[in-house]
Amino acid sequence: MSNKSRTANDVIALTVLNLLAEEPMHPYQLQRVIRARPKAWAMGKTRSLYHSVDRLFADGLIEHVETSRDGKRPERTVYRITEEGEEERHTWLIDLIEQPAPEHPLFLVAISFLAHLPAPEVLDALRVRAVALEGHIAGVEVWQRALRDDLRLPRPTTIEIEFFIAMHRAELAWVRSMADEIQKGNLHWDEESLRHHFATTRGWSSAKEGDTE
C-alpha cells in the first residue's frame, strides 16, 4: 500500500500502521490492543485485519521481525513498521486531519428529505432519535470512565471518544431544537403545497432555459 494505492477510508490499515509505530506486534496482539483501547472501526472480522497486514507487508510498509511458536499454538509472526511505512503513516494522518474525505451520513440524507414526510411523523421520529442519542452518550461516557480509571489509558490514545461525545451532543441539541420548532408550529410544511411549489419552480426553470437557447 503506497501513497498511490492508499485509500483514505482504509481505517484498519491505518490503525495497524499506528499501533506498529508504538512497538512490534503479531496480528493477534494487534487485535487485543484494538479491543482494549478500543478502536471500534477496526474491531471487525479477524480476516480483515490479517488481509491489511498482508497488504502492508506486500507494499513494504511493515516487515517481519521474527516468527515464534508458543507450545502447540500456530506460529505467530511479529511485524514492525518500516521507514517507508513510518513516512506513509505520518503523511496519511496529517492528510486526514487537514482534509478528511467527505462523508454523507445516512441521518443527513434522511434529513434532506424531511419535507417529504408528514410533520407529526417527523416529530415522533426526532423524539425517538433524541432518546437513542441520550442512550449512546450515556453509554460512551461510562466506557470513557472505565478506560480512564480502570485501564488508565493516556488521554491522547482515546481522544476520539471525546470527539464522538461532542458530535452526538451537538446532534442531540439540534434534534431537540427541531422537534421543539415543529411542536410549536414554527417549522411547518404541507406536502401538497410543496408539490405545487416544486412544479411551479420546474416550470419557471424550463422557461428560463428556453430563453437562453
> In the listed set 64, 98, 132, which residue is the last one of a domain according to the structure?
98
Give the residue from 114, 138, 96 showing the smallest Cα distance to 188. Answer: 114
Q: Are residues 162 and 193 in the same domain?
A: yes
- Residue range(s) defining the domain that contains residue 148: 106-212
What's the pLDDT tens digit per position in 191-207? 777 777 778 876 544 44
Is residue 10's pLDDT more than 90? no
In terms of residues, how long is the chain?
A: 213
Q: Are residues 125 and 192 in the same domain?
A: yes
Q: Residue 73: helix, strand or coil by DSSP? A: coil
* Position with higher pLDDT, 147 vs 1: 147
Q: How far apart are CA 75 and CA 69, in angstroms?
A: 5
What's the pLDDT tens digit per position in 18-77? 999 999 999 999 999 998 887 888 887 788 899 999 999 999 999 999 987 666 667 889
The x, y and z cell numbers of residue 21, run together, are 509505530
Q: Are residues 27 and 80 in the same domain?
A: yes
Q: Are residues 139 and 56 in the same domain?
A: no
> In the listed set 98, 120, 155, which residue is the last one of a domain according to the structure?
98
Least confident of 97-106, 133-142, 204-213: 204-213
Q: Are residues 110 and 79 in the same domain?
A: no
pTM: 0.70
Q: Are residues 84 and 134 in the same domain?
A: no
DSSP assigned state of 78: E
The x, y and z cell numbers of residue 194, run together, are 410543496
> In the listed set 98, 118, 144, which residue is the last one of a domain according to the structure?
98
Give the residue from 174, 186, 179 showing the smallest Cα distance to 123. Answer: 179
Rounded mean pLDDT of 173-190? 94
Q: How far apart are CA 76 and CA 192, in angstroms?
A: 65
What pLDDT, on a 0 to 100 scale, did the predictor assign at position 203? 52
Q: Are residues 65 and 112 in the same domain?
A: no
What's the pLDDT tens digit per position in 92-124? 999 988 888 777 788 999 999 898 889 999 999
Give a yes or no: residue 56 inside a domain.
yes
Q: How far apart are CA 171 and CA 136, in angstroms?
A: 12
Is residue 15's pLDDT more than 80? yes
What pLDDT, on a 0 to 100 scale, did the predictor assign at position 164? 93
The H or E element spanning position 179 is helix 159-184
Number of domains in the chain: 2
